[in-house]
């Protein structure tokens, strides 16, 4: 490990190209700089300075030492900051996993507000689908999950609260055969047509919701993709009502009343109580705010994205 003075010497010689200019830059006598340079070479038992040319340069060994010493000093400074950060109750990092059904754009102002705290916590925000969201928390790939669906599973130290309930509408393209079928639609009518589903990201047991047994399916990567596929007549299925309100109003999707309506889905916020830190507590407080919870549940009206 180099001292700051030794690193400053290497950088001054590299940048100035002479002992005299390096000495002037550092406010020291040239003889002092020359002696320090030779001491440094003796310490590492390596030629660090190429003195054969008109311009004094670092040898490849000197360049490597300068680069690595700079990196190490920065690493030590960052480590010191992280140690202080964790000692004051902040986590080193926080991994938030949202269910794909929630849109990241809505969280941008929240991330900005978190940054303003200057906590130093590294944020990682990713998404999973359906069972994959709970699985991420169970397997330690998430510190906090948001928008998880279905009842919370049995899990050590699990804590949770309800984010809200999402309402659904069964919608099809006006060009789809089901658009002309009399309501309410019966299961024996729906099962003949392909359902569009968002693929469950669970590594274990993937599931599809709102699909009848034996019904053909088209699995797509996101709820946005599902809306677009159904709008284009590639299949049928349940969609978040608020997100497709404009598409329904404009006639790009047609709502069909069902003989077996779908109940609203409760979405959950969940975490493990054995890993609570200040960053987790701050984010939990945000998700408990009714205004943010409502925006996440309602989502963004798809008309802004489908022109």
Q: Does 78 share its domain with 126?
A: no
The backbone torsions φ and ψ at residue 214, rounded to the nearest 5 degrees and listed phi first, read 85, -5
Q: Does 153 share its domain with 181?
A: no
pLDDT at 119 over 60: yes
pLDDT class for 244, splitting at 50, 70, 90? Answer: very high
Instruction: Give the domain-ending residue among 87, 118, 148.
Output: 87
Other Cβ atoms within 10 Å of 108 Cβ, number: 10
Residue found under tokens 């205004």: 291
Q: Does 272 share its domain with 159?
A: yes
Q: What is the CATH number of the domain that holds 151?
A: 3.40.190.10
Q: Report residue 93 as tokens.
A: 């990092």
Mean pLDDT of 36-49: 87
In terms of average pLDDT, the best of 73-77, 148-152, 199-203 is 148-152
Cα distances from 275 to residues 90, 158, 177, in angstroms, run 11, 10, 52
Decide if 260 is inside a domain.
Answer: no
Q: Does 269 or 30 have the greater pLDDT score?
A: 269
Decide if 304 is inside a domain.
Answer: no
**What is the model's pLDDT at position 209?**
57
Q: Does 106 share its domain with 149?
A: yes
Q: Does 283 share its domain with 144?
A: yes
Q: Does 30 share its domain with 47?
A: yes
Give the strands of the sheet with 144-149, arranged side by side: 122-128, 93-99, 144-149, 265-272, 158-166
Reduced to 3 states (helix: H, G, I; strand: E, B; else coil), residue 296 is helix
pLDDT class for 84, splitting at 50, 70, 90? Answer: confident
Q: Does 155 share its domain with 294?
A: yes
Mean pLDDT of 220-249: 95
Q: Does 54 or 298 have the greater pLDDT score?
A: 298
Mean per-residue pLDDT of the chain: 88
**What is the model's pLDDT at position 134?**
94
Can you give the pTM of this predicted structure? 0.74
Q: Does 202 or 220 have the greater pLDDT score?
A: 220
Decide if 307 is inside a domain.
Answer: no
Q: Report residue 165 as tokens.
A: 């309930």
Q: Does 158 share its domain with 269?
A: yes
pLDDT tens sequence across 145-175: 999 988 888 898 999 999 999 999 999 999 9
pLDDT tens sequence across 174-192: 999 999 999 999 989 999 9
User: Which has the closest alpha carbon to 169: 247, 268, 266, 269?
Assistant: 247
Name the domain count of the chain: 3
Buried b (16+ CB within 10 A) or exposed e, 197-215: bbbbbbeeeeebebbeeeb
Strands 93-99 and 122-128, by their bridges, are: parallel
Q: Could you tell me what percent of the chain has a pLDDT over 90? A: 53
User: Residue 76 sits in which domain range?
Assistant: 4-87
Reduced to 3 states (helix: H, G, I; strand: E, B; else coil), residue 120 is coil
**What is the model's pLDDT at position 40?**
87
Q: Does 241 share its domain with 209?
A: yes
Q: Does 133 share its domain with 200?
A: no
pLDDT class for 306, splitting at 50, 70, 90? Answer: very low
Instruction: Give the domain-ending residue among 68, 87, 106.
Output: 87
What does the DSSP 8-state code read for residue 213? T
Distance between CA atoms of residues 213 and 205, nearest Å: 16
Distance between CA atoms of residues 69 and 307, nearest Å: 54
70-79, 149-158, 220-229: lowest mean pLDDT where? 70-79
Q: Does 15 share its domain with 129?
A: no
Q: What is the CATH number of the domain that holds 53?
A: 1.10.10.10
Decide if 222 is inside a domain.
Answer: yes
Rounded to the nearest angstrom, the gap between the alpha carbon of residue 236 and the centroid of all alpha carbons in its chain is 30
Reduced to 3 states (helix: H, G, I; strand: E, B; else coil), residue 144 is strand
Distance between CA atoms of residues 246 and 122, nearest Å: 38
């Amino acid at each position: 490990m180099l001292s700051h003075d030794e690193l400053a010497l290497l950088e001054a010689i590299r940048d100035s190209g002479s002992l005299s200019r390096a000495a002037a830059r550092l406010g020291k006598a040239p003889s002092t700089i020359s002696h320090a340079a030779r001491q440094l070479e003796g310490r590492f038992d390596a030629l660090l300075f190429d003195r054969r040319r008109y311009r004094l340069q670092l040898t490849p060994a000197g360049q490597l030492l300068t680069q690595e010493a700079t990196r190490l000093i920065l690493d030590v400074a960052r480590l010191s900051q992280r140690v202080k950060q964790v000692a004051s109750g902040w986590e080193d990092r926080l991994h938030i996993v949202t269910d794909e059904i929630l849109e990241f754009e809505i969280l941008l102002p929240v991330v900005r507000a978190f940054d303003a705290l200057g906590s130093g916590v590294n944020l990682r925000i990713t998404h999973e689908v359906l069972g994959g969201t709970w699985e991420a928390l169970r397997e330690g790939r998430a510190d906090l999950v948001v928008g998880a669906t279905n009842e919370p599973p049995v899990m050590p130290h699990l804590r949770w609260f309800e984010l809200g309930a999402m309402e659904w509408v069964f919608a099809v393209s006006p060009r789809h055969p089901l658009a002309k079928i009399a309501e309410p639609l019966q299961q024996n009518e729906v099962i003949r047509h392909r359902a569009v589903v968002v693929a469950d990201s669970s590594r274990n047991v993937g599931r599809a919701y709102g699909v009848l047994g034996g019904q053909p399916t088209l699995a797509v990567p996101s709820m946005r993709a599902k809306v677009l596929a159904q709008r284009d007549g590639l299949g049928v299925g349940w969609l978040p009502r608020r997100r497709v309100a404009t598409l329904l109003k404009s006639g790009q999707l047609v709502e069909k009343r069902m003989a077996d309506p779908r109940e609203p889905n409760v979405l959950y916020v969940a975490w493990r109580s054995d890993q609570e830190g200040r960053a987790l507590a701050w984010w939990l407080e945000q998700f408990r705010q009714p205004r943010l919870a409502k925006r996440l549940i309602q989502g963004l009206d798809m008309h802004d994205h489908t022109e």
